[in-house]
Chain A
Amino acid sequence: GAVVSQHPSWVICKSGTSVKIECRSLDFQATTMFWYRQFPKQSLMLMATSNEGSKATYEQGVEKDKFLINHASLTLSTLTVTSAHPEDSSFYICSARDRAGNQPQHFGDGTRLSIL
């Protein structure tokens, strides 16, 4: 079946560091990718929708300059958490939708971000 690879799976870094998370669709072309944030024991909250070749659409309350999203190809989207602080610590999950959009989104395994 369709596979979405997310990397890294876990990252720990100092406050003020910028961290890049990659989301790749391995065997299909993902015209749309979604980025979610999940706090401990909570549900997934959509942060932004990324369409290949265009600017991402951010949900209300999500800082565009803080969470930079790039979707430069049909198989790769990146989320960069700029100047990360402890409050940015969370579990970030991406999902990808194929070109036809006929099947449910395929999810990556998530990235646990811990900012010291």
Chain B
Amino acid sequence: AQSVTQLDSQVPVFEEAPVELRCNYSSSVSVYLFWYVQYPNQGLQLLLKYLSGSTLVKGINGFEAEFNKSQTSFHLRKPSVHISDTAEYFCAVSDEGNAGNMLTFGGGTRLMVKP
């Protein structure tokens, strides 16, 4: 069984400041890792994914994440946030070998960007 833990339920940050949203996972098998963003009353939009290769993954909207296998982490970062980045962010994992497999989600982190 897999599990995903997002350590912070809410992260307030001022505009143009850097931000890191933390994600740790546990799994008995190798995994693929994803970050999704959800705006109010909308579905999920894929920010970035780690399937293989470089552990530093760049995504849309200036976000990036780094896969750390030894620490079983996949933290999301952005060097300078905008008001428009205010949203809910979800980290998710699936079994390696099929990126379309069932996803297990973390509890989500609400990013609140203040002017």
Contact = CB atoms under 8 A, between A and B. Distances in A.
Interface of A: 4, 6, 9-10, 32, 34, 41-44, 46, 49, 91, 93, 95, 97-98, 100-105, 107-110, 112
Nearest to A38: B38
Contacts of A43: 90, 105-108
Interface of B: 32, 34, 36, 41-46, 49, 90, 98-103, 105-108, 110
Contacts of B43: 4, 6, 93, 107-110
Contacts of B32: 104
Given A44-B90, A93-B43, A107-B45, A101 B101 contact: yes
Contact of A42 (B36, B46, B49, B107): B107
Given A43-B106, A101-B101, 16 more contacts: A34-B102, A34-B103, A41-B110, A43-B90, A44-B44, A49-B102, A93-B44, A97-B100, A97-B101, A102-B100, A104-B100, A107-B43, A107-B44, A108-B43, A109-B42, A110-B43
A108 B99 CA distance: 17
A101 B110 CA distance: 29
A46 B101 CA distance: 12
Nearest to B98: A101
Contact of B41 (A34, A41, A98, A110): A110
Nearest to A32: B100
A46 B102 contact: yes
B46 A104 contact: yes
B105 A98 contact: no
18 contacts: A4-B43, A9-B41, A10-B41, A41-B110, A46-B103, A97-B101, A98-B100, A100-B100, A101-B98, A103-B100, A104-B32, A104-B99, A105-B103, A107-B36, A107-B44, A109-B42, A110-B43, A112-B41
